Amino acid sequence: MEKPNNENKKDKQGPDGLTKKERRALKVNARPSQTNQAAGEHAQKPLTNTNAQPGDTIVQTQTPVVNSKSLTEKELRRLEWAKKLEQEKKSNEGDKNLSKAEMKAKRREKQEAQRQQKSEQVKTNVSAEKCEPVTIKEIIKKPSSNKKVITPKKKHKVTEPHVVQLVQHLYNEDSLKQEDTLMILHHDIHPAFVRLGVQYSSKVILGSNARCLALLAALKLLVNDLKSPQKQEFCRYLENVLQVSTNYLNKCRPFAVSMTNALRYFKLQLTQIDTNLKDIEKKAKLQDIIDTYIDDDISKAGVAISMKVREKISNGDVILTYGCSSLIRKILLEAHADGKVFEVIIVDSRPLLEGKELLRRLVVAGVKCTYVLINSLSYIMNSVTKVLLGAHALLTNGYVMSRIGTAQVALVAREYNKPVLVCCETYKFSERVQTDSFVYNEVGNPDALSTTHRNDITPLSNWKDSLNLTPLSLLYDVTPPDFVTAVVTEIAILPCTSVPVVLRINASETT
């Protein structure tokens, strides 16, 4: 049994007659001797004779060169760390007897010494860069002195001097500046939309109802004149053409809420048309959809609102209105036709002065009117019995978006305890939420504020010469629901907070 054990031991021995354990022990014993040799080599320094003269013979001793390969990185780090610890111990032993003030002074000296070393290093680096020799390749690469070297100019962001930074996002860069150039650029757009865009930008068509009716009329012409190419379905082709046309209109002037709601309804109906019908049948069906929308949501809604407001008007009333709302004009004219005797005070403001058109139509009909500007509002409000206001849109949080100045009229009426009725169709209800006039609005022409109807020279005539003056002309403002007594719609007389309920009902009916 002893013979096989001796044979296994012989197999484990290597050619040098040592086992694995004996080799490991020799390696472990060899490591500390290597570290001691490295420390001795670092301690030795070269000897130089500073007092040597030219005739003397100098014997140079060869300094032992440290072989970095003989020491591993970990061993070198250990040696450096041991040196640092010894230096710190010596400094701590000397600092124990010092006071706090002396300790602080020492630290400051160390910091100043470190700063001086850094500054000297920077200077040496700069001088080395200047004194660097120029290679032949660099000389060849350099251009000749006769040729002009073109250096790229740095692009700086140019901020326009006459732009209010608070409402910078409202300025429309693609506004209609030259009608002819836009017509050339958008030659693939139907002429009805090109004409409509020019009318929007020049403020020929004003009011949310008028703008929506004009858009639907142009849409009917587009449907009637459109011819789809071969192997392409008519409704899908109409969607593409309509998208290009509406983008053009939006560049001319941002869409009103009434226009966006009408387009949304039309596109929804466009997707529900049977694709198997002929193009002529599709055109007829689409035109019927537009006519029914105008009849139900705009015309009949206005008649229903007029009937409800006329019940609130009594003989001897003094009704105050602001601007020129087509719905308010219809209500007042129909109430006068019914034989009711009342007086109307029209409050107006620059620069549009829309109230002049309402004044002209009411005077022609025989209604007694008074025309004042908004600065005399508090003076005239005491004699008012009711306030009727139009609306551009009614937001989900109950705020009323209308022509700028409406919020001021409603505020003064509340202070005088006068009832404020806002007349608005439900197709103007919006899902947007807004509490101020700066998040979303429309910027008008600032030059209109500096001119008068007489074209006289005013102090603001040369406002462009001053960099510190920028007129701001906003078209709409937002009235809080606290200033509004009720909203008169075709459904009923509702509070401002009932907008989400009406939107939910309309969504369920359309789907």
Mind listing the pLDDT tens digit for each residue in 338-378? 999 999 999 999 888 899 999 999 999 999 999 999 999 99
pLDDT band at 179 (very low <50, low <70, confident <90, very high): very low
CA distance 35 to 57: 36
The pTM of the full predicted model, rounded to 2 decimals, is: 0.65
Phi and psi dihedrals of 255, rounded to 5?
-70, 145
- Computed on alpha carbons and rounded to an integer, the radius of gyration of the chain in Å comes to 45
- In this predicted structure, what is the pLDDT of residue 105? 83
Q: Is the pLDDT of residue 182 over 60?
A: no
CA distance 355 to 344: 12
Residue 192 near residue 220 (C-beta atoms within 8 A): no
Q: What is the mean pLDDT of the chain?
A: 79
Q: What's the whole-number mean pLDDT along residues 251-262?
A: 91
pLDDT digits (tens, 9 = 90+) for 67-80: 444 567 778 888 88
pLDDT band at 20 (very low <50, low <70, confident <90, very high): confident
CA distance 160 to 170: 14
Residues in the chain: 511
- In this predicted structure, what is the pLDDT of residue 388? 95
Q: Is the pLDDT of residue 5 over 70?
A: no
pLDDT band at 121 (very low <50, low <70, confident <90, very high): confident
pLDDT band at 40 (very low <50, low <70, confident <90, very high): low
The encoded tokens of residue 94 equal 């000397």
Instruction: Read off the amino acid at residue 506.
Output: N
Q: Which of 19-33, 125-139, 194-208 has the lowest mean pLDDT?
A: 125-139
Percent of the chain with pLDDT over 90: 43
Q: Which residue has the tokens 């002529």?
A: 280
pLDDT band at 445 (very low <50, low <70, confident <90, very high): confident
Phi and psi dihedrals of 415, rounded to 5?
-65, -30
The 3-state secondary structure of 12-51 reads HCCCCCCCHHHHHHHHHHHHHHHHHHHHHHHHCCCCCCCC
Q: What's the whole-number mean pLDDT along residues 286-304?
A: 93
**Domains annotated on the chain, with CATH:** 174-297 (1.20.120), 314-510 (3.40.50.10470)
Helices H / strands E in the chain, number of each: 17, 10
Q: Which residue has the higher pLDDT, 142 or 17?
A: 17
- In this predicted structure, what is the pLDDT of residue 157? 46
Q: Is the pLDDT of residue 150 over 60?
A: no
Percent of the chain with pLDDT over 70: 75
Q: Which residue has the higher pLDDT, 28 or 244?
A: 244
Q: Tell me how crowded residue 58 is: count the other CB atoms within 10 A of its CB.
A: 9
- In this predicted structure, what is the pLDDT of residue 468? 78
- In this predicted structure, what is the pLDDT of residue 367? 93
pLDDT band at 145 (very low <50, low <70, confident <90, very high): very low
CA distance 80 to 75: 9
Q: Which residue has the higher pLDDT, 201 or 136?
A: 201
The encoded tokens of residue 95 equal 């600092």
Cross-strand pairs, 186 = none
CA distance 422 to 478: 13
Q: Is the pLDDT of residue 183 over 60?
A: no
Q: Is the pLDDT of residue 94 over 90?
A: no
CA distance 173 to 187: 21
Q: Is the pLDDT of residue 52 over 90?
A: no
Among the listed residues 447, 484, 425, the one whose alpha carbon sits nearest the alpha carbon of residue 304 = 425
The encoded tokens of residue 426 equal 């439900």
- In this predicted structure, what is the pLDDT of residue 36? 53
Q: Tell me how crowded residue 138 is: count the other CB atoms within 10 A of its CB.
A: 10
Q: Is the pLDDT of residue 478 over 90?
A: yes
Q: What's the whole-number mean pLDDT along residues 190-211?
A: 90
Residue 282 near residue 234 (C-beta atoms within 8 A): yes
Q: Tell me how crowded residue 382 is: count the other CB atoms within 10 A of its CB.
A: 8
SS3 349: coil
SS3 322: strand
- In this predicted structure, what is the pLDDT of residue 511? 65
pLDDT digits (tens, 9 = 90+) for 374-398: 999 999 999 999 999 999 999 999 9
Q: Is the pLDDT of residue 149 over 90?
A: no
Question: What residue spans of 65-173 are helical by DSSP H?
Answer: 73-95, 100-130, 136-141
Which long-range contacts (C-beta less than 8 Å, at least 24 apart) are formed by 147-155? none
Pairing of strands 400-403, 393-394: antiparallel
Q: Is the pLDDT of residue 31 over 80?
A: no
- In this predicted structure, what is the pLDDT of residue 96? 63
SS3 491: coil
Q: Which residue has the higher pLDDT, 12 or 177?
A: 12
